[in-house]
Chain A
Amino acid sequence: MKDRLAAALKTSRADYTEIRVEHTWSAAVSFRGARLESATAGEDRGGFVRALHDGCGWGIAAFTSLDELPAMVRRATELSRAVRLERPIRLAPVAPVTAEALLDLDGDVRGVPLAEKKRLIEGYNGEMLAVPGVVDTQATYRDEVTEYWFANSEGTSLHELRPEITLSGTAIARRNGTIEKGLESIGLRRGWRGAQGQAAGFGDAARRAAALLDAPSVKGGAYPVVLDNELAGVFIHEAFGHLSEADFVYENPQAREMMTLGRRFGRPVLNVGDNGAAPGLRGTLPYDDEGTPTQDTPLIRDGILVGRLHSRETAATLGERPTGNARAVSFRHAPIVRMTNTYIGNGSGTFADLIRDIKLGVYACSAFGGQTLLENFSFTAAYGHMIRDGAVAELVKDVVLAGSLFQTLDRIERLAGDFRWNQMGGGCGKGGQFPLPVTEGAPHVRIEEALIGGDVPA
């Protein structure tokens, strides 16, 4: 395949050309209640060519028939020439690299019969069904192995093998008219061995759903709020991470002003970054989809905005360095600026220290979902607890956290020293590309004051 890519690149008359080929084997088994919903296996393969002539725009061809590689190169170069630009597209330099990065498949899922995968997820589903009060469940096992080739006209040539496993469960508990749910979600850049021994989380999710039946709704209002590791991670990804993607600002002077490097975004305790090279995480890969090595990129240091995430194009436009964040969800798409493993840096002390002087507050845990529209966000915690007189008190539900990003970041006043990566499934969506594997990490985070359930009118 490497030779085919090299040969196809030679036929290109563009100033820059890249080719990506992917071959993915996948399997999925899902249960609904005690019933098997489906057990399927798929095979997906295709390629992507991107070409750039000086003074022209990007020409792109994506295809599922690999026999046509040279024709697709021709197509992409023609499409590039169709776009004339006054300000040409520049790419920040990246040293050419040749690499074989065959990640450990950790028990190659392609060798495991579908029946075994069914047995595994059936067991996890059973953990949820066994919990009293649970009336319905959904449990899904997914795996994937992707063989990946990338080559560009500057001499970079990559060959990678990437495993991925995701496990997810939803438990629905119902009593009379009240319905509550509990979620479990695990996403690992691992193979079959990584999927083993995960039963406990499914049982916990189901017990939480049942417990929420008796929990009161949180009383809306402004409180000191402590986010658990998971919700803090989701928050920093959704509310801040997307703004630090340079394609959001690179062509927009007003947005760039809002995100000026050196602007204070928080108090000195706040440190945020994105680390595509962190070992063993779902958002980790040695190179991005432009062949740039991944790295740890500081975004906020001591409360000050110090960096952003780049592709080669956005880096060149802003006169900064590429950070290895140009990613595509599959061969069907062009690489765009994306996060990898985004984190809030660790603080100090314990969780108990963090809440000791809170007389009345809310401990918001895990996330059912969240959406941001630039400076406004809304997150639904999976559950919460009241904090009373410095201790975690009763379970509460309907914990919705909403507000303005700038205000909320500025009110982050303390961080515990209990940083953790959240290895969740799902993925990030942007520009029609979903689900991109990412990871988030954070310690427990204390916000001086935030509105809880504030958008749920009485």
Chain B
Amino acid sequence: MIERAIALVRARAATGDALWRRAERTSVTFESGRLKSCAATEETGVNLRVLVDGRVGVAGTTADDADDLVARAVASAALGETVPIRFPAAALLPDVSTFVAPVAEAPLERLTAIGAELVSRVTREGCQVNVTIEREVAQTRVVNTAGTDAGYRTSTVVVGLDLARFAGDDVLFVSEQYAGAGLPAAADLDALVRSIDDRYTPALRVVTPPDGALPVVFTPSGLSAILLPLEQALSGKTVLQGISPLGAKVGERVFDERFSLFDDPLAPGRPASRPCDDEGTPSRRLPLVERGVVRGFVYDLETAARAQAASTGHGARGTFGKPHVDYSNLILGKRGEGRGRGGLGGGLLDGITDGLLIDDLIGVGQGNVIGGAFSHPVALAYRIERGAITGRVKDAAVAGNVYDLLKKIGGFGDDGRWLSNRWSASLLLEGVSVARR
């Protein structure tokens, strides 16, 4: 199908590229502690982009009709803007492990056994436990008219674990996730269970929130509100639109010297790793911020063409819609550094007389994200008093501006870990506004 689509594009004396992806997913769901359903999903789709007389057009399909797909892409190009996209020629791709054979071969019983073990280890009185395990095996091919024909296989296992406790009108939600190219090892399951315990036990006691400009520890999952503005600002697309606060700051020190951010599509064994992006550009590790200094932005082919830059290999595409800029694996700080015994706060609580630990916030992504200002009620947060967690706080909100707060970092924890496609440790920031409601 993909060869035929590209051949049809060539026959029209046009250029173009296409992504073909076939994914097989198996998932098992435990609801309230019991296995409820097993599902198998198979999906094949093609996304095609053409340049006809310099104009770009895109079409996608899950139906098996190359002629219709090309006709629709050409019709789209008739309206499209002129963009000087240059499709990459065939290149030697870096070696990266994205496929773990035992994952593809694991029988259903192996997946349900993982779930049953987790359920039995985290079940406790008065709590509802939900577990989902999803295994995906996918094949990807990127073909273009410039000679690229790249393909690779990926395997992904995601284990999600949710604990909900209802006591009167108080609801406590604690969740944790494993994601990797391989099945979780015993140590990974231990870490999941320990992480749930670490956050559940101190949450049982509800305490009064503090108030004022305070030291706040953001756990790897609590960091989303802090990193989202940077993810937007470091996208070449935002820079091109002229709305990135970092657009004109390449080479400048904007953040604390200890702050570094990389995108690494070659991280071994990660679900988002790949030898090339969805446009066939070879993968490479890209510094975005190095020791507080802005180094560069992520680009796909179209954004790069418009910005007169080169693609950094960050084109992503689904079956439908046009290719867009996206990150692969975001690494905050040095990976590997600080992987210690873990524990909530990663050892950052010691010097804090009065403060907050944030694990989850409500409404991240609402409001004016790009400016760096944030203001969110807490979803899961704990009070820190005299170096220790004293309980969970409910009616509190935190606010600040990430560009001010990241000028001075209080420290990184020793609990560095992967959470979905991001590696980070806990981060201590000083002077975050905390308000009681």
Contact = CB atoms under 8 A, between A and B. Distances in A.
Contacts of A368: 366-367
Interface stretch (A43-51, A94-102, A355-363, A387-395): A43-51
A45 B58 contact: no
B166 A252 contact: yes
Given A43-B68, A255-B128, A62 B38 contact: no
A424 to B, nearest CB: 16
B410 interface: no
B363 A378 contact: yes
A241 B80 CA distance: 42
Contact of B367 (A113, A136, A380): A380
Nearest to A64: B62
B191 interface: no
Contacts of A352: none
A82 B36 contact: no
B58 to A, nearest CB: 5
Contact of A62 (B35, B41, B169): B41
B248 interface: no
B39 A41 contact: no
Interface string B43-76: 1110000000000011111111100110010011
Interface residues of A, number: 72
B241 A43 contact: no
Nearest to B360: A373
A403 B362 CA distance: 12
Interface in B91-148: 108-109, 112, 126, 128
Interface residues of B, number: 71
Interface in A34-93: 35-46, 57-65, 75-76, 79-80, 82-83, 85-87, 89
Interface stretch (B255-263, B283-291, B292-300, B429-437): B429-437
B379 interface: yes
Contacts of B41: 61-63, 332
Contacts of A257: 166
A79 B28 CA distance: 10
Contacts of B251: none
A40 B322 CA distance: 8
Given A64-B44, A334-B37, 15 more contacts: A26-B320, A36-B81, A46-B62, A59-B37, A62-B42, A63-B41, A76-B40, A82-B38, A85-B36, A87-B34, A252-B32, A255-B164, A368-B366, A371-B363, A380-B366
15 contacts: A36-B81, A38-B58, A38-B321, A40-B322, A41-B59, A43-B72, A57-B35, A60-B38, A61-B40, A83-B112, A85-B34, A89-B36, A255-B164, A376-B377, A377-B362
Interface of A: 26, 28-29, 32, 35-46, 57-65, 75-76, 79-80, 82-83, 85-87, 89, 113-115, 118, 136, 179, 181, 251-252, 254-255, 257-258, 332, 334, 368-378, 380, 400, 402-404, 406, 451, 454-457
